[in-house]
Structure 1
Amino acid sequence: METEITFRIAVQKDLDSIVAMLADDFLGSQRERHENPLPTSYIKAFEAITSDPNNELIVACEGGKVIGVQQITFTPYITHQGSWRATIEGVRTAGSVRGRGVGSDLIKWAIHRAKERGCHLIQLTTDKTRPDALRFYERLGFVPTHEGLKLKL
């Protein structure tokens, strides 16, 4: 029998599991470095995220084990009459739980959290080489209303 999935703010001891999930796909394996010890860049990023009240790194846990992660950033905007929006990034689930609804539960949790924070909009991007991810987000109510552009520095 499966245990209940809970959600909480990540703590530093979760970082190894988080990086492992980020590295566990065809894109992540090319850009992440899941090593022991972890590169200090991950520790510095974790510290910056956790010290910023407008960033939350959320983990999904089952039986004490981290099985999912997402980052939510809350941003004030001058547009839309000075409202706030939430941006969801870095959504991953452990390979052992894929297909069990953990990703959907993570996104639903983020939607609830954005409402709690008074956001009028949630935005996210997904890589164009991930058509399954696009379908996943559309099933959860997200609509591809904009073209997203990025510039690597």
Structure 2
Amino acid sequence: MPTDVIFRSATEKDVPAIVALLADDVIGAGREGESDRYLAAFRDIDADPRNHLVVADLAGEVAGTLQLTYIPGLSRMGAERAQIEAVRVASAHRSRGLGREMITWAVDQAKQRGCGLVQLTSDKRRSDAIRFYESLGFELTHEGLKLQL
């Protein structure tokens, strides 16, 4: 397991590395590309106190990323929930424990904030990722639906 990883807020300079991580698989390669919209999206995320775009920094290299979003709600007696999204680990750092460390860090952040629930989604085609999340204690409890616009 990496011991020298630093979890930090992403900066505008990190955006190209994050986009490269998002595109670094068959599913992501079909969704991501060259666009000025990434910087605008980064600025919106960065300005929103309920969003935290994070990079896992290993010796100055962006080795992983995730987005942690805090969602207020009335259900569960008004509990805030944490949504973990866009989890990616650079191919050179996979299968070394970095993903586990990233998710553990995100869950700890949610606990410290007082969230009542941590949730995430994963494309059904990512069976390895689903097994990984289950090994961390996440349970398949809901069916998710999306409408592409």
Tell me the TM-score normalized by structure 2.
0.97
TM-aligned CA deviation for residue 40 of structure 1: 1.2
Residue type of the alignment partner of 1:146? H
SS at 1:105 equivalent: helix
Residue type of the alignment partner of 2:70? F
Unaligned runs of 5+ in 1: none
> What is the match of residue 89 of structure 2?
93
> Which of 116, 127, 149 is 2:112 aligned to?
116
> What is the match of residue 67 of structure 1?
63
TM-aligned CA deviation for residue 3 of structure 1: 6.6
Q: Is the 8 A contact 1:55 1:71 kept in 2?
A: yes
Residue type of the alignment partner of 1:22? L
1:32 maps to 2:24: no
TM-aligned CA deviation for residue 116 of structure 1: 1.3
Residue type of the alignment partner of 2:118? I
Distance 2:13 2:62 in 1: 10
Distance 1:111 1:19 in 2: 23
Number of positions where the alignment pairs a residue of Structure 1 with one of Structure 2: 148
Distance 1:75 1:118 in 2: 12
> What is the match of residue 10 of structure 1?
10
> What is the match of residue 75 of structure 2?
79
Distance 1:125 1:10 in 2: 21
Distance 2:32 2:39 in 1: 13
Residue type of the alignment partner of 1:10? A
Runs of 4 or more, structure 1, over 6 Å off, are none
CA RMSD in angstroms comes to 1.0
Q: Is the 8 A contact 1:3 1:62 kept in 2?
A: no
Residue type of the alignment partner of 2:27? L
> What is the match of residue 106 of structure 1?
102
Tell me the TM-score normalized by structure 1.
0.94
Residue type of the alignment partner of 2:14? D
1:141 maps to 2:116: no
Unaligned runs of 5+ in 2: none
Distance 1:109 1:40 in 2: 30
Distance 1:3 1:96 in 2: 16
